[in-house]
Chain A
Amino acid sequence: MKHQRLVAVALWLAGLAVCALLVARTHFVADMSAFLPKAPNARQQMLVEQLRDGIIARLIMVGIEADSPAERARLSEALAADLRKNPTFVGVQNGSAETLAHDQAYFFDNRYLLSPSINADRFSANGLHEAIQTSIDGLSGSAGMMLKHLLPRDPTGETLQLIEQFSGSEQPNSVEGVWASRDGKRALLLAQTSGAGSDIDAQAQAQAAIKKAFAEIPGRKADARLLLSGASVFSVSSRQTIESEVTRLATASTLLVICLLLAIYRSPTLLLLGLLPVFSGALAGIAAVGLGFGQIHGLTLGFGTTLIGEAVDYSIYLFIQRADTGDARGFWRTIRLGVLTSIAGFVALLFSGFPGLSQLGLYSISGLVAAALVTRFVLPQLIPAKAKLRDLSRFGLLLNGAIARLQSVRSGIVILLLAALGLLIWRGDAVWNRELGALSPVSAAEQKLDTELRGDMGAPEMRYMLVLTAPDVEHALQAAENLSTPLRELTQQGVIAGFTSPANVLPSHASQQQRRAALPEESALRTNLGQALQDMPIKAERLEGFVADIGKARTAPQLTRASLNGTSSALLVDSLVVQRARDVLVMLPLRAPANGEINAAKVDQALGEAGLPVTTFIDLKAESFGLYATYLHEAAVLAGLGCLAIVVLLLVFLRSLPRTLRICAPLACSVLCVTAGLVATGTSLTILHLVGLLLVVAVGSNYALFFDQSTLQEDEAARRQTIVSLCVANLTTVSSFGVLAASKVPVLSALGLTVGPGAFLALLFSAALAPKAIKSLQGNRA
C-alpha cells in the first residue's frame, strides 16, 4: 500500500519535471497569426500571406501633429532624414522635394526605355510629325507651361505619357513641401521596414526607433505628437495587449478561485492540495502544446486560464464528496465520464483551421487529463487524515430549498425557452457576424486612426487586384506588360477606373531591349526629323537636345530595380513584385469605377479573351468574407460533431437513453438561452461564440452528469453533499470564464461571455429539470 503510494507520487513528480523541461523549451508567441486561418484555397492563401508578410505588413504610416504647418514640415524632414540613415528602414518617404526631384529625373532621363509608345514607327518622318504636332497642340492647354520646357529635349511627349499613366492614382496633399493630411493638420510620412511584417520583434524595434528619432529632434515642442499606424503597428500593439491580458487574466482567475476555495474549505492545506491538479494540468497543457506545435500562443494561455476553474473541479468533488465514502467506484466512474465528455468537446477543436483553437484543444485535453489523474492517484495519497472539511450540510440544505423553488417555476422556464427559441428563429441568419475583422484584437480607436491615415496617404485601395506568378522577375514584368492592353480596354469601357502596374516604372528587359532597338541612329534621326518638321513652326536646330538624348539612350544601360533607389517608385515595385521561395508574385491593383464595384465576370472575360488565363482576379473583400464563411461553416461542423461525440459517449457509458436525454436536455436549454441572451444584448455572433457553445456542452456536461448521478443516490445527506460540491465546482468555473469575459481581447471575451453563463445555466437547468429530485424532495418535506 505504502509502496503504491510512493510510486504514484514519484511518477507524478517525474512527470512534472519532464513537463517543466518541455515548458522551458517552449517558444511563446503573441502575434495575431493564431487567428489568421491556415489556407483553404490558393486565393485565400495569397490573402493570408499578404496580411502576414506582404509589403503592406512592412509599412508604417506616420502622422505628425504640431501647431504650425512650417513646424510640421520641419519635424517631418528631420524625422525622415534621421530614419533614412537607419538600416532598420529600407525606404522613407515624406513627399520631400528631394524624392520628387528623383522621381522626375528618373522618368525624364529614362523616358526612351520607359515609354510604351516607343517603336520604330515613332521615329519615322510621319511618326515624328504626328507626335510633335500633338505636343505643339498640347502647348495651348493647361500643361503648356510644363511642356514647353520639355519640348526641346522631348518633342514627342514621352514624359507626358509616363505621367499620364499615374493620373487617377491619388497622391497625398502637400503642404510646405511635405506630405500632409487632407485637412492639412498632420504631416505624413511613410516608412518601410527591412524586417518582415511577421517578425514582431523587428517591427517593435522599428517603431521604437521612429519614436526615439522623433523625441530627439532638437527644438521639438512638447505638444508635437507622433502617430503610428499600419498592420505592423497593430501586430505590436496586439502582442502587448495579449501579453498583458494573459498575465492579468491568470492572476485574477487564480486569486478568485483561491478566495472561493478558502471561503468554502477554510483550510489552507486543502486549498494547496486542491491547487495541485490545476498546477500540474497547466504545466502538462503547455508542455503538450509546445511538443505538438513547437510554440504556444499567448492567446492559448489566455484561454487556458479557464482551465484553472475547471481543473479544480475534480479536487472539489473529491474533498466535498469524500465526506461520504459510500460509493467510491461510482464516484470515480462519474469523474471519468465527465473528463471524457469534456475531452470529446475539446477534441473537436483540435481539427480547427485556426491554429489558436487547435492549440486550445490540445492544451485543455492534456490539462484536464493531467488534473484528473493527479486528483485520482496523487491527491488521495497526500490528504492528511486529519484534514477534515468543515460541515457544509447547512449550505446543502439551503441549496436543496433553492432547487425546490427552481423546480416549482418550471412553467416559467418553458416560457423562457420558447421566447429564446422565438428570438433565434426570428433573427435567423442575421445573428452571425461575417467580418474577419470581428476577431481582430485591434481597438476601434486604432482602426479609426488607420483609416484616416490611409485615406490621407491616398494609399492605393487594395480591394481589387490581379495576381499572377512567374518563375522570375523578368517573366513577371513581361506578364504585367501583357496585361496592359486588356486593362486599358477595360478602363475605356468603364469596367475599371484604372490600374497600377509595376511594369510602368520598371519595364521588362525584353521591352527595354525592344525600345532601345527602335531608337534610330543619329543620321537617320536627323533625316526623319528634317522631313517631319518641313511644314511645322519648329526649327530642327532647336531640337538638338532631343537628338543628343536619343543618342545617349541608345547606349544607356538597362533599368533594374536598383535604378529606382531614391524614387518613390521603389516602394511601388517592391510592394507589387514579391520574390517568394520558388517564384515571383505580381500584383496589379485595380481601381473601382464610381459605383465602387468591379464586375468580376467582365474582368475575367477580358483576361480570357486576351489569352491570359493564368492571371487571377481577386476581390479581397469577397475573399475575406468567403474565408470567414468557410471558417464559420467549419466551426459549425466541428461543434456539431463534438456535441454528437458527447451524446454517443453518454449513451455508451450510461447504457440508458432516458438518462442520456436527462443529461442532454439541460445542456440544450443552456445553449439555447445563452445564444438568445447574446443576440438579445446586441452581440453579433462570431466563430468564437460558436466554439464557446461547444464548450458549454463539454464543460456543462460534467455538472449535468453529476447532478443526474446525485438523483440516484439513496442517502439524502450524501446527495446534498454532492450538490454542494457541484455548486462550488460550478462557481469556480463560472468565475474563471467570467474573468475571461472581462478581457479587452475580443476572442477571449467572446469565449468567456458564452461559456461562463452557459456553464452556470447548465447546472441551473439540470436542477430545474431533474425529475427524481422533485419526488424525493417532496417526500422529504411531507
Chain B
Amino acid sequence: MRKIDCCKLALSLLLCTALPAMAAELQLGELMQMLAQAKSAKATFIEKKYIGIVDKPVESSGELSFTAPDKLEKRTLKPKAESLVLDGDALTVDIPGKRRTTIKLQDYPEVAAFVESIRGTLAGDRSALERVYKLELSGHPEKWLLVLTPTQAKMSKIVTRIRMQGSHSEIKSIDFDQADGDRSEMLVTSIQAQ
C-alpha cells in the first residue's frame, strides 16, 4: 500500500516538472536523439579568432566532417593547410610538408576542451558531454542554442563557455569563449547530411 503511494508521488512529481517544457521548447534528450540519428555530416566552415594581441580577427576556412560514432575531421585550407583528425582517443595533426603528429586526447585537456565538445554534440552523446560540461538548451527544433559550460577546473582554465546554434540535427555555429578573454566564432554550412 505504502509502496504504491510512493510511486504515484514520484510519477506525479516527474510529470509536473516535465509537462510545461514539452509544450513549446526543445528538450535536451530530443535534441541528442536527433543528433545521434545523423550518421555522417559534412560542412564547410569559416572561423574567426579574436585574439587580444592582434587587432583584426584571424580568419581561416575549410571543411568539417563527422562520421559516427567518433570520427571528426577538421581540414583547414586557408590561410595554412592543416588537418586535424580525431578518431577515438587519437588526435592526429597533419601539416603538409611539415609534420604529422598523433597525440592521445586525454594527455592534452586544452585540445580536448575544443574538439570533444564538437564531436560529442555531433554524435548526440549526452553522457560524454555531461561528463565535462553543464548543458543548457533553449529554443525550438528549428533554431536551438546549446550552451556548454566546463565543469572541470583544468578545462575551465582554458574555455569558459561554448555556444552552439543549430537547426534540427545541423549545427550552424560554434563559439568558444576563452578564459583569457579571447574568443572564436565558427560558422558552419552543411554540404550534405544523412
Contacts and interface: CB of A to CB of B under 8 A. Distances in A.
Interface of A: 136-142, 144-145, 148, 151-152, 164, 167-168, 173-175, 537-539, 542
B177 interface: no
Which of A136, A140, A173 counts the most B-chain CB atoms under 10 A from its CB? Answer: A140
Contacts of B111: 142
Given A136-B54, A144-B51, 7 more contacts: A139-B54, A141-B60, A142-B82, A144-B58, A148-B182, A167-B101, A537-B54
Interface in B52-110: 52-56, 58-60, 76, 79-80, 82, 84, 93, 95, 98-101, 104, 107, 110
23 contacts: A137-B79, A138-B80, A139-B54, A140-B58, A140-B59, A140-B60, A140-B76, A141-B80, A141-B82, A144-B49, A144-B58, A145-B110, A148-B51, A148-B52, A148-B53, A148-B182, A168-B99, A174-B107, A175-B107, A537-B54, A537-B55, A538-B54, A542-B53
Contact of A141 (B52, B53, B56, B95): B95
B102 to A, nearest CB: 10
Contacts of B59: 140
A189 B82 CA distance: 34
Nearest to B106: A175
Interface in B29-58: 47, 49, 51-56, 58
A76 to B, nearest CB: 16
A140 B49 contact: yes
B104 A173 contact: yes
Interface of B: 47, 49, 51-56, 58-60, 76, 79-80, 82, 84, 93, 95, 98-101, 104, 107, 110-111, 158, 182
Contact of A142 (B51, B52, B58, B84): B84
Interface centre among B53, B59, B60, B79 (most CB of A within 10 A): B53
Contact of A167 (B79, B82, B99, B182): B99
B9 to A, nearest CB: 42
A164 B98 contact: yes
A140 B79 contact: yes
A542 B51 CA distance: 13
A168 B97 CA distance: 12
Nearest to A151: B53
Count chain B CB atoms within 10 A of each CB in A141, A152, A164, A175 and give the residue with the most. A141
A529 B52 CA distance: 19
Contacts of B158: 145
A329 B54 CA distance: 108
A151 B53 CA distance: 8
B76 A141 contact: yes
A152 B53 contact: yes
A153 to B, nearest CB: 11
Contacts of B47: 140
Contacts of A145: 110, 158
B116 to A, nearest CB: 14
A140 B80 CA distance: 8
Given A140-B47, A141-B76, A173-B104, A539 B82 contact: no
Nearest to A152: B53
A538 B182 CA distance: 15
A241 B125 CA distance: 57
Nearest to B94: A142
Nearest to B83: A142
Nearest first, the 10 A-B pairs at minimum CB distance are: A140-B60, A167-B99, A537-B56, A537-B55, A137-B79, A141-B82, A139-B58, A537-B54, A140-B58, A542-B53
Contacts of A139: 49, 51, 54, 58
Nearest to B104: A173
Nearest to B57: A537
A145 B58 CA distance: 13
Nearest to A141: B82
Contacts of B82: 141-142
Contacts of B79: 137, 140
Contacts of B110: 145
Contacts of A168: 99-100
A407 B61 CA distance: 93
A136 B99 contact: no
A167 B110 CA distance: 20
Contacts of A173: 104, 107
A142 B92 CA distance: 11
A155 to B, nearest CB: 9
Contacts of A164: 98-99
Contacts of B93: 142
A157 to B, nearest CB: 12
B22 to A, nearest CB: 41
B175 to A, nearest CB: 16
A64 to B, nearest CB: 18
B53 A538 contact: yes
A145 B112 CA distance: 13
A151 B58 CA distance: 14
Nearest to A143: B93
A554 to B, nearest CB: 24
A702 to B, nearest CB: 66
A148 B52 CA distance: 9
Nearest to B52: A148
Nearest to A492: B97
A138 B56 CA distance: 14
A136 B58 contact: yes
A175 B98 CA distance: 27
